[in-house]
A and B are shown apart, each in its own frame.
Chain A
Amino acid sequence: MSDGEIRCVGLVKTYNPGQPNEFRALGGVDLTISLGEYASIVGPSGSGKSTLLNLMSCLDSPTRGSVYIEGVDINSLNGIRKARLRREKLGFVFQQFNLINSMTSFENIELPMRFMGLSRREREKRVDDLLFLMGLEDKGGNRPSELSGGQQQRIAIARALANNPQIILADEPTGNLDTKTGSSIMGLLLRLNREEGKTLVMVTHDERIAGKADREIHIRDGLIV
Chain B
Amino acid sequence: MIDVALRNVFRQRVRSFLTVLGIAIGIGLILSLGAIGEGLNRQIEQQFGDIAGVIGVYYVGDEDEGIDENAIDGMKDIEGVESVVPVGEYSITQRRIKGGFMSRMKGGGGSLSFTGIYPEDLKYLVGENIIAEDGRKIEESDSGDYVVLLGASLSERQGLNIGDEIEYERKEDDDSTESFYFDVVGVLEETGDSEVDDVAFVPLTTMQELEDDYSIKHLKVKMTDVGLVEEITEEINDYSDDLKAFSALEILRSLQETLGTLQMAVYGIGAISILVGGIGIINTMFMSVMERKREIGIMKAIGATTTDILVQVLEESAFLSLIGGAIGLALGFGASSLITRYTTFNTVITPELVFIAVIFSLFLGVGAGLYPAWSASRLDPIEVLRYE
Contacts and interface: CB of A to CB of B under 8 A. Distances in A.
A80 interface: yes
Contacts of B302: 86-87, 92, 111-112, 115, 159-160
Given A98-B298, A102-B295, A115 B381 contact: no
A59 interface: yes
Given A59-B382, A102-B7, A92 B301 contact: yes
Contact of B301 (A86, A101, A103): A86
A83 B1 CA distance: 17
Given A59-B381, A94-B385, A114-B1, A83 B7 contact: no
B298 A83 contact: no
B296 to A, nearest CB: 10
Interface in A51-105: 54, 57, 59-60, 79-80, 83-84, 86-88, 92, 94, 96, 98-103
Contacts of A147: none
B251 interface: no
Nearest to B305: A83
A1 interface: no
A116 B304 CA distance: 9
Interface residues of A, number: 28
A54 B380 CA distance: 12
Interface residues of B, number: 21
A198 B4 CA distance: 31
A60 B381 CA distance: 9
B13 interface: no
Contact of A60 (B7, B304, B382): B382
Main secondary structure of the interface of B (DSSP, over half): helix
A6 B308 CA distance: 27
Nearest to B296: A100
B237 interface: no
B299 interface: yes
Q: Which of B11, B299, B305, B306 has the most CB of A within 10 A?
A: B305
Contact of B303 (A54, A60, A102, A115): A115
A163 B307 CA distance: 20
A45 B226 CA distance: 88
Interface string B245-284: 0000000000000000000000000000000000000000
B89 to A, nearest CB: 80
Contacts of A54: 382
A44 to B, nearest CB: 18
A84 B307 CA distance: 12
Contacts of A84: 303, 305
Interface in B290-340: 294-295, 298-308
A115 B7 CA distance: 17
A54 B299 CA distance: 15
B306 A79 contact: yes
A80 B298 contact: no
Nearest to A80: B305
B301 A115 contact: no
B301 to A, nearest CB: 6
B305 A102 contact: no
Interface string A142-171: 000000000000000001100100000000
18 contacts: A54-B382, A59-B382, A60-B382, A79-B306, A80-B306, A80-B307, A83-B303, A84-B305, A86-B301, A88-B303, A92-B301, A98-B301, A98-B385, A100-B295, A102-B11, A103-B4, A111-B302, A160-B302
- The 5 nearest A-B residue pairs measured at CB: A87-B303, A83-B305, A86-B303, A115-B303, A98-B298
Interface of A: 54, 57, 59-60, 79-80, 83-84, 86-88, 92, 94, 96, 98-103, 111-112, 114-116, 159-160, 163
